[in-house]
Structure 1
Amino acid sequence: MRIIFMGTPDFAVPSLQAVIDRGDEICAVFTQPDKPKGRGHKLQPPPVKELALQHGLPVLQPASLRDEDVQKAIADLKPEAIVVVAYGKLLPPSVLAVPPLGCINVHGSLLPKYRGAAPIQWAVINGEKNTGVTTMFMAKGMDTGDMLLKAETDIGPEETAGELFDRMKLIGAELLTDTLNQLEQGYLKGTPQDNSQATLAPMLKKEMSAIDWSKPARQIHDQIRGLNPWPCAAATIDGRRVKLLTSQVVEGSNTPGTVHSIDGELLIACGQGMLKITELQAETGKRMSGKNYLLGHTIKDGALLE
């Protein structure tokens, strides 16, 4: 098939590789513009661009798909299908109408649950036991198109959003291959979504880092792993702001928000149960275990977190 691929972050890289491995004619790869990163603000290409250039594929990085010249360029490429994986931009109706076989999206949830920009993170934050990937025909609304294929996976009780990302991007690539195979053979049909069952997964915000220690330990644990690797849950311990990266729910009780060192472990009391902080990172420090943090920092037992 003649395909335009649209994607930007790491999550989309295995899917682009899957299309390359299928031997499709990739007439263009669309990705977000390079962005400045690091202290030197040096422009950094998106991961999808890096892979595309390695394979000699033409790369286009328009600021918007609403530009009429960009839309004409897409139409002139005459793709049979457009594959979209975490591109980060909505496709206007004029673009959706270009490919005769449709625009195929790889979405990181079991639709219609978790429509939006952060489906994997919200599944973890909400304590879901399983999730998955859905391929669908794209429509005008946000993740509202007819569903094609699905693949489910369990979420580990201590699995972080970042770890789940790494697994699901591979699941998504495999599902995309199956979807394109069936699309090419002509017997793939879409299933409308039940909008009454839809839930939203909006973009994460830095403000979500704050922790309400009056909540149950399990709920805070899900927040910690769901916000890892960004923006990370955070707390101020003995005047130092630290990112809480991983944790475990343990038995125990005390005033919510009090810090305790028990058998060399860093524990924090919650509204119900306690949390063992297994990995954290100070603002100017390296990632370390809760045990190692206690070795280097004296914390008054029973101190109340700010």
Structure 2
Amino acid sequence: MTQQSPQPRKRAVVFAYHNVGVRCLKVLLAGGVDVALVVTHEDSATENIWFESVISVCKAEGIRYITPEHAKGEDLLAAVKAAQPDFIFSFYYRHMLPASLLDVAPAFNMHGSLLPQYRGRAPVNWAVLHGATETGATLHEMTVKPDAGAIVAQTAVPILPDDTSHEVFGKVTVAAEITLWKVLPALLGGTAPRTVNDLTQGGYFGGRKPEDGRIDWSKPAQEVYNLHRAVAPPYPGAFTEQNGRTYVIERARLAAQAPAGLPPGLAVVDNDIFGVCGDGRALAIHSLLADGVAVTPAQLREQLNAQLNA
């Protein structure tokens, strides 16, 4: 009886960063994929690095990695071609891959939403900001147009009423791992399904900046609360400026009962801090920061009184 030769392992070039990059890279390794090259980013000294390191995984596993400044260089293209990949994967890599790279091998991206919903940048933050009750992770074919390729697989997770983006991102990371793990054998075998990514549904969203966390207290409390949840630490946080000081909300909940008769903005009532909103409802603020330091109700009351007496 003639023994059959084992099938050669599929080779991949992986563009990866952040927690999703780490977990999905580990799924490929566990699934027997030969990761010939990882393309990632050096951490920025100006960014709050609260997430796991793809570079650390590469060092631990002995995987070659490079950190080009962008994805359009000829050197990068040559390195990817030299790796002779059967697949290209992108897991939370921060640059768009040009057509020249996408032409090297079939390419797939893991996106942090249930496509076609919340295409583009910061999908988890946008979902929370808009009060969505569900999101997830989607593996899809990569095209030059971002988040437009056919859907291969996706996994949904709930967004609970008080979840912050950080908490939801943790769920999405697990959803990404599950999505890739379940579909990887079929993907490697060439039998993975494809579903049309209907771009007439959902919408495309751009990146977010710290300035986008500015609070407009004239808005309804639910809208202000969603902003807080969307950008709460370790993101830059929802902030307000009063009397020349910038206050950042670290932790808050919708108040069960709002203080009556107060104008929109920060207030201290019975030694508790509130953010009064335009609809008369309020946020009960459990932790308020100024210059990164917690502000007590007594300190805030003194600062607000100084503003009134100025």
Amino acid at match of 1:98: V
**Percent of aligned pairs with the same amino acid:** 27
Within 5 Å, give how 1:124-273 maps onto structure 2: 124-229=128-233, 230-237=235-242, 239-250=244-255, 251-252=257-258, 253-272=260-279, 273=281
Q: Give the match for residue 291 of structure 2.
A: 283
Cα deviation, 1:182-238, whole Å, max 9, x if unaligned, reads 212332122121111131221111221211111100000000110123231112355
Quote the Cα distance in structure 2 between the aligned partners of 1:11 and 1:264.
41
Q: Give the match for residue 9 of structure 1.
A: 18
Cα deviation for residue 62 of structure 1 reads: 1.6
2:81 aligned with 1:90: no
Contact 1:158 1:247 in 2 (8 A): no
Q: Give the match for residue 111 of structure 1.
A: 115
Quote the Cα distance in structure 2 between the aligned partners of 1:194 and 1:221.
31
Q: Give the match for residue 73 of structure 1.
A: 79
Cα deviation for residue 72 of structure 1 reads: 2.1
Cα deviation for residue 239 of structure 1 reads: 4.6
Quote the Cα distance in structure 1 between the aligned partners of 2:300 and 2:215.
22
Where does the alignment leave 5 or more consecutive residues of structure 2 unmatched? 1-9
Cα deviation for residue 128 of structure 1 reads: 0.7
- Who wins on radius of gyration, i.e. which is larger? 2
Quote the Cα distance in structure 1 between the aligned partners of 2:139 and 2:266.
45
Q: Give the match for residue 297 of structure 2.
A: 294
Quote the Cα distance in structure 2 between the aligned partners of 1:296 and 1:181.
59
Quote the Cα distance in structure 2 between the aligned partners of 1:206 and 1:277.
20
Quote the Cα distance in structure 1 between the aligned partners of 2:254 and 2:292.
27
Contact 2:155 2:178 in 1 (8 A): no
The DSSP-based 3-state class of the residue aligned with 1:298 is helix
Quote the Cα distance in structure 1 between the aligned partners of 2:60 and 2:215.
43
Quote the Cα distance in structure 2 between the aligned partners of 1:30 and 1:73.
10
Specify which of 28, 31, 45 is matched with residue 37 of structure 2: 28
Cα deviation, 1:129-176, whole Å, max 9, x if unaligned, reads 111111101111011110111111111211111121122112211211
Contact 1:131 1:153 in 2 (8 A): yes
Amino acid at match of 2:28: V
Quote the Cα distance in structure 2 between the aligned partners of 1:295 and 1:22.
57
Contact 1:228 1:245 in 2 (8 A): yes
Quote the Cα distance in structure 1 between the aligned partners of 2:125 and 2:53.
20
Where does the alignment leave 5 or more consecutive residues of structure 1 unmatched? 39-44
Quote the Cα distance in structure 2 between the aligned partners of 1:281 and 1:21.
43
Q: Give the match for residue 61 of structure 2.
A: 55
Q: Give the match for residue 42 of structure 1.
A: none
Contact 1:92 1:140 in 2 (8 A): yes
Q: Structure 1 residues 203, 258: closer, same or farther in 2, change over 3 A?
A: closer
Contact 1:243 1:280 in 2 (8 A): yes
Amino acid at match of 1:281: L
User: Given the two structures, how large is their TM-score scaled by the length of structure 2?
Assistant: 0.86
Q: Structure 1 residues 25, 196: closer, same or farther in 2, change over 3 A?
A: same
Amino acid at match of 1:88: R
Quote the Cα distance in structure 2 between the aligned partners of 1:157 and 1:284.
26
The DSSP-based 3-state class of the residue aligned with 1:15 is helix
Contact 2:36 2:64 in 1 (8 A): yes
Q: Give the match for residue 127 of structure 2.
A: 123
Quote the Cα distance in structure 1 between the aligned partners of 2:263 and 2:63.
55
Quote the Cα distance in structure 1 between the aligned partners of 2:41 and 2:251.
31
Cα deviation for residue 18 of structure 1 reads: 1.6
Contact 2:267 2:301 in 1 (8 A): no
Cα deviation for residue 82 of structure 1 reads: 1.1
Cα deviation for residue 245 of structure 1 reads: 2.2
Amino acid at match of 2:252: S
Answer with 180-189 or 137-146: which moved more.
Answer: 180-189
Quote the Cα distance in structure 1 between the aligned partners of 2:237 and 2:265.
20
Quote the Cα distance in structure 2 between the aligned partners of 1:84 and 1:91.
9
Q: Structure 1 residues 59, 160: closer, same or farther in 2, change over 3 A?
A: same
Q: Give the match for residue 41 of structure 1.
A: none
